[in-house]
Structure 1
Amino acid sequence: MAVAGLIGAVGIVTDSRILIVAAMVAGPEYGAVVRAAPGIDRRSGPRIRKGQTALTAGAWEGARGGGVRSGREEVSD
């Protein structure tokens, strides 16, 4: 994810479409999108569900704070 962010930042600064696309490909959600796309094209329910499950799980994990942690922990008194 960090690498994708760096590639995307350089792409924005240099106004490079190639780097923007490379950042999208390097992102972790790309695999799930690639799984779902052929299913949508071929109208294959199982492929679509696999991709949707991966996207939903990734979004859920991101929303609950998974992935990269800041290293800061809550201190309770």
Structure 2
Amino acid sequence: FSNIDWEKQPENPWQNANTLDEEGYMEYIHAQLKELLGGKYGEISELWYDMGKPNPAQSDQLRTWAHELQPNIMINS
């Protein structure tokens, strides 16, 4: 799962310095996680986050959301 929105990120997004601080962006990610992990695709065993540079509180929130939707999921950064 790529945290960044490739249409909104600055030039050179591959440097992985993209924060998730745009207003409303965490809610946008939450909606995407609900779609991917909410049961439509069955049990998901692994989630790999690709790109983006969440702060510690955002990382905690992403982990919490993923485990609420898929309690047994393994998460990698």
Larger Rg: 1
Structure having the higher strand fraction is 2
Task: Calculate the TM-score normalised by the size of structure 1.
Answer: 0.26
- Structure with more contact order per residue of length (Cα contacts < 8 Å, sep ≥ 6): 2
Task: Calculate the TM-score normalised by the size of structure 2.
Answer: 0.26
